[in-house]
Amino acid sequence: MTQTTFSATATRVASEASDFARARRSMAGGVSSPVRAGTAVGGAPPVIARARGSRIFDAEDREYIDYLCAYGPVLLGHADERIAAAVDRACRQGAVLGGTHSEEIRLAERLGEAMPSMQRVRFVSTGTEACASAVRVARAFTGRPKIVRFAGNYHGHSDAMIFNAGAASNSRADARAGITQGVAGDVIALPYDDLQTLGAALSREGDRVAAVILEPVVGNMGLVLPSDGYLSGVRSLATRHGALLIFDEVITGFRLGLGGAQELFGVKPDVTCVGKVLGGGLPIAAFGGRADVMAVLAPDGHVFQGGTFSGNPVCVAAAHALLDAIESDPLFYNRLSAKGSRLARGARHALADAGLDFPVVQLGSIVDFMFRHGGAHRTFDEAKQADARSYARYYWAMLERGVFLPPSQMEVMFLTAAHSDEDIDRTVDAMRNALLALAEGADASRP
């Protein structure tokens, strides 16, 4: 790398630092969500101005190929015209109505068709709400207090979900701050992909467990695919002990296919949570499942759950536009998966060229590798063994080369329909150069 690049980096670091310093004066920690502060990579990522297609632009109009994709929602590409037009139309007909509306009913029907396990759905605005509500429903339905979840899975930031969870929620050791012992005591957090510990915990406490909640494919401790038979094993154990099975498909729903991970792996949960991709970039999420389970919700039952913006017409219109776009192209998911395979293949070559044997994991349009030798990691403990300093150096080296990655190794790379083969090939070249530069110790790294 040349001297010019180093000085350009220094200028950029200074200007980004001042943008971020300004953010810190008015916004708590300078961010609306902690991972965005870049703690895991030793400094704040660029302040963003706009995005289009596969590209994101910083406040100084520098262009990057985006693989963060807003942590998953962007599937068609940024600023997709079809979504924009639908949103525009909906805004002009009333952005929020305060009553059930026809397009909302139609969306519920479409969700039920895509994922038949969702016999009844309720719309919310975020994945956090969907998961927290699903858990409350499970407790009310079973009359039991406890929840089993898996370390390194992330189900939003509600009290019961946030400690020992994956993604950036783990950036601080005291992740239980603000959470009562009572709440923590009702959560059993186990290692993912391990039927033995689950079986043992359910044998011990099964009659007090309302639900087992998990990401069927985990996207919050890097990418972890379930071992053969794991999901069906969890299904049988939950059934045997009278606990509901909740699939958190907030990442996988509509990204792996219209039917999500449950269709791909052929395992039927009692309740499902979806979000992210569903809104085509707008905040809409839903939870839904067996009709008898969902019947505990008010007004039919006694569990209160609601929201001013739940099912609002703007987000609903965006969701319809997204589903229309997907359904109009029978090869949509094949094409998307082909892009994922191309990126994964390229990443494997780039790593090999740099003399590194880190396993690359891919499912459809999700691609990931961690700075960790050996087989693909399966648990949160293994994910935490990955070399954080090297990832930080790699992150900045890739940014320097025009590629926007997640600012934490616990997050994964997402592709969209807007990523071209050329984008992917450029990315792979950047990976190769960045990894080789790292190996030679000549990268532009942050403190």
Residues carrying an active site annotation: 154, 248, 276
306: Cα separation from own chain's centroid: 23
For ligand PMP, the closer CB: 1 or 183? 183
Q: Is 170 in the site for ligand PMP (CB under 6 A)?
A: no
Of 35, 245, 239, the residue nearest 150 (C-alpha): 245
Rule CB under 6 A: choose which of 186, 248, 270, 382 binds ligand PMP: 248
Binding-site size for ligand PMP (CB under 6 A) equals 16
* C-beta of residue 149 within 8 angstroms of C-beta of residue 161: yes
Rule CB under 6 A: choose which of 107, 210, 251, 318 binds ligand PMP: 251
For ligand PMP, the closer CB: 55 or 149? 149
Rule CB under 6 A: choose which of 142, 170, 220, 305 binds ligand PMP: 220
Q: Is 104 in the site for ligand PMP (CB under 6 A)?
A: no
* C-beta of residue 431 within 8 angstroms of C-beta of residue 394: no
Rule CB under 6 A: choose which of 139, 155, 320, 401 binds ligand PMP: 155
CB of 385 to ligand PMP, least distance (A): 22
Rounded Cα distance, 408 and 379, in Å: 17
What tokens does 20 get?
């971020």
Half-sphere exposure of 292 (CA within 13 A, CB side): 4
78: number of Cβ within 10 Å: 20
Does a cis peptide bond (omega within 30 degrees of 0) precede residue 145? no
CB of 422 to ligand PMP, least distance (A): 29
For ligand PMP, the closer CB: 361 or 431? 361
Q: Is 250 in the site for ligand PMP (CB under 6 A)?
A: yes
For ligand PMP, the closer CB: 160 or 428? 160
Q: Binding string to ligand PMP for residues 252 to 281, with x set by CB under 6 A, is what?
A: -----------------------x------
DSSP 403-433: EE--SSTTS-EE--TT--HHHHHHHHHHHHH
Please name the amino acid found at residue 364. G
Q: How far is CA 272 from CA 118, 120, 214, in A?
A: 7, 10, 10
What tokens does 56 get?
């994101």
341: exposed, middle or buried (Cβ count in 10 Å: 0-12, 13-18, 19+): middle
Stretch binding ligand PMP (CB under 6 A), from 58-66, 80-88, 243-251, 304-312: 243-251
For ligand PMP, the closer CB: 34 or 313? 34
Q: Binding string to ligand PMP for residues 30 to 69, with x set by CB under 6 A, is what?
A: ----------------------------------------
Rule CB under 6 A: choose which of 20, 64, 67, 71 binds ligand PMP: 71
Q: Binding string to ligand PMP for residues 380 to 399, with x set by CB under 6 A, is what?
A: --------------------
What tokens does 14 get?
């200074």
What tokens does 423 get?
């984008």
CA max distance for the chain: 68
Q: At what angle do helices 332-353 and 421-439 cross, to 10 degrees?
A: 20
Rule CB under 6 A: choose which of 54, 126, 262, 272 binds ligand PMP: 126
303: Cα separation from own chain's centroid: 27
Q: What proportions of the chain, in percent to the nearest 5, are helix, strand and coil? A: 45, 15, 40
Rounded Cα distance, 21 and 60, in Å: 16
For ligand PMP, the closer CB: 53 or 219? 219
CB of 223 to ligand PMP, least distance (A): 12
Stretch binding ligand PMP (CB under 6 A), from 23-31, 82-90, 152-160, 259-267: 152-160
For ligand PMP, the closer CB: 46 or 156? 156
Q: Which residues bind ligand PMP (CB under 6 A)?
A: 71, 126-128, 131, 154-156, 167, 215, 219-220, 248, 250-251, 275
